[in-house]
Chain A
Amino acid sequence: ETGVTQTPRHLVMGMTNKKSLKCEQHLGHNAMYWYKQSAKKPLELMFVYNFKEQTENNSVPSRFSPECPNSSHLFLHLHTLQPEDSALYLCASSQAGGSYNEQFFGPGTRLTVL
C-alpha cells in the first residue's frame, strides 16, 4: 500500500448503528486529519492529530469520535448519526513542523445515513 488508504470506501448505515471508518498513512507523516465534504458546504476540517495527540476538534458533534492509536492510523467512530451527516469523509496526513503543511488525502469514505 502507498499513500493514504481508507476503508470502507462506501458505507450505508441506519441512525441507530455504530460503525467505524479507518485511515492508514504509509508516508511516514506525524499528523493526521479528518475532513467532511458534503454537497452543501465546502470541505470542513473535523479533527487534527499531531503525534497521535488530538490538537484540534472543530466543534464536531459528539456522535463522531476520533481515535489515533499511533501516527499511522486514524479512526472515526460513528454512532447515532443523522441523515445530514451523509457525506464524503476524507482522511489526510502531513509532516507537521516543517516549512509547509502540504496534506495528502485518502480516497475517502462515502457515507450514507438512512
Chain B
Amino acid sequence: ELKVEQNPLFLSMQEGKNYTIYCNYSTTSDRLYWYRQDPGKSLESLFVLLSNGAVKQEGRLMASLDTKARLSTLHITAAVHDLSATYFCAVDSRYSGGGADGLTFGKGTHLIIQP
C-alpha cells in the first residue's frame, strides 16, 4: 500500500522564523507535488518536482526532492502570517508513466504563523 507521511501535522511558529515540513513516501516515483489549502478553500498547486535533486522556489517557500531517500521538504524562510494554511504533499498513486493517475496525499501540515 502506498504511504505518504508528513510531519509535523501541526506547526505553530512566529513570523520571521524558518522551518521545514517533511514528506516521506513509499513509492518509487520520481514525481512529487505540493499543494496549499486555505480554510474553507480548495487546493492550490505550489510545486511540481520531477526528478531527484529537484529544487523549486517561490517567494519564501522552497521545495526539494530526494528520490533515493523518498523524501521531499518544504522550507519556509522568514515566515509571514499570509503563509498560514495547510500544506499537502502528494505522489502519483500508480505512476504507470502515462495516462491519468490519481494522487495519494499526505495528511497535511496545518501551519499557523503568529505575529
Contacts and interface: CB of A to CB of B under 8 A. Distances in A.
Interface of A: 30-31, 33, 35, 42-43, 45, 48-50, 55-56, 58, 90, 92, 94, 96-97, 99-108
A108 B107 contact: no
Contacts of B104: 45
B29 to A, nearest CB: 10
B78 interface: no
B99 A96 contact: yes
A42 to B, nearest CB: 5
Contacts of B88: 43
B58 to A, nearest CB: 14
Contacts, number: 64
B99 A90 contact: no
Interface in B87-102: 88, 90, 92-93, 98-102
12 contacts: A33-B100, A42-B107, A43-B88, A43-B90, A48-B100, A55-B100, A56-B102, A100-B48, A101-B100, A101-B101, A103-B45, A105-B42
Given A43-B88, A45-B104, A50 B99 contact: yes
Interface of B: 31, 33, 35, 41-45, 48, 50, 88, 90, 92-93, 98-108
